[in-house]
Amino acid sequence: MVKIRKTVYGGSLILLLAIAAFTLWMERSFLILGFMIILLAAVPFYVRFEKKNMKAEEIVLVASLSAMAAVGRIPFAALPGVQPTSFIIIMAGLTMGPETGFIIGGTAAIVSNLFLGQGPWTPWQMIAWGLMGWTAGLLRNRRWMKHRAGLVAFGTAWGFLFGWIMNLWFVLGFFDLYSWSVWLTAFAASFYFDLAHAAANAVLLWLFSERWMKILGRMTQKFGLLK
């Protein structure tokens, strides 16, 4: 009976969301539609994380890395595109797994914006940095990810991917008409910042990834936090 109720509630929720999404699409409210999709994508990670039976040491480590990632963004706010936050998120995903990597990425975005300013861009930053940590965790056992050159390639790619995700909210939020010229203009305007982000990721991963892997690896092993 409980399973039937859950199925009915779940099906009803999906139907309501589908109707809302269709309505927003027909009204061309693409920014709100994108916002809703992003929230739906992020919530399951936080719900699952909340239900985990975590050790105190794991909670402290996740909180510490989230705080470091958030604070690491603030001093470099005057240098557009330079994001030490991304380096910490990638390291977190590599050592603690995809789920924790997503949580640290999303939390770093919302906490850092308490100082830099919240806005409609915050959920997009949360999902972008969350996916960065998540994919780092998913790919961490790949042979090429175990080499510094592979990490640099991964960080470089995500420097551009992060910017492209943020371009989506920019176009959806500031333009009523969408065409190839609008999209190309947005991507061209962000190229310098995306390049700076990618270059910063590459440099930080090249110089410090091995040291951070050893430090975080020892901590996760010591407290039995390996995923």
Q: Please answer whether residues 153 and 201 qualify as being in contact, where contact means their C-beta atoms are separated by less than 8 angstroms.
A: no
pLDDT recorded at residue 51: 65
pLDDT, residue 227, reads 53
What is the rounded CA–CA span in Å between residue 48 and residue 46? 5
Cα angle 36-105-68, degrees, rounded to a multiple of 5? 140
Helices 122-138 and 98-116: crossing angle, nearest 10°? 150
Rounded Cα–Cα distance for residues 96 and 69 (Å): 15
Domain segments of the chain as ranges: 28-222
Architecture of domain 28-222: Orthogonal Bundle (1.10)
Summarised one tens digit per residue, pLDDT across range 152-194 is 999 999 999 999 988 887 777 666 666 777 778 888 888 988 9
pTM of this prediction?
0.75
The label of the residue with tokens 């027909």 reads 26
Q: Which residue has the tokens 């910490």?
A: 88
46-69 pLDDT tens trace: 666 666 666 666 777 777 888 888
- Measured at the CA of 220, the angle between CA 218 and CA 225, to 5 degrees, comes to 155
pLDDT in tens, 93-125: 998 888 888 888 888 888 887 777 767 777 888
Count of beta carbons in the 10 Å neighbourhood of residue 66: 24
Q: Using one digit for the tens of pLDDT, what is the confidence trace for 125-157?
A: 888 999 999 999 999 889 898 889 999 999 999
Confidence at residue 116, expressed as pLDDT on a 0 to 100 scale: 75
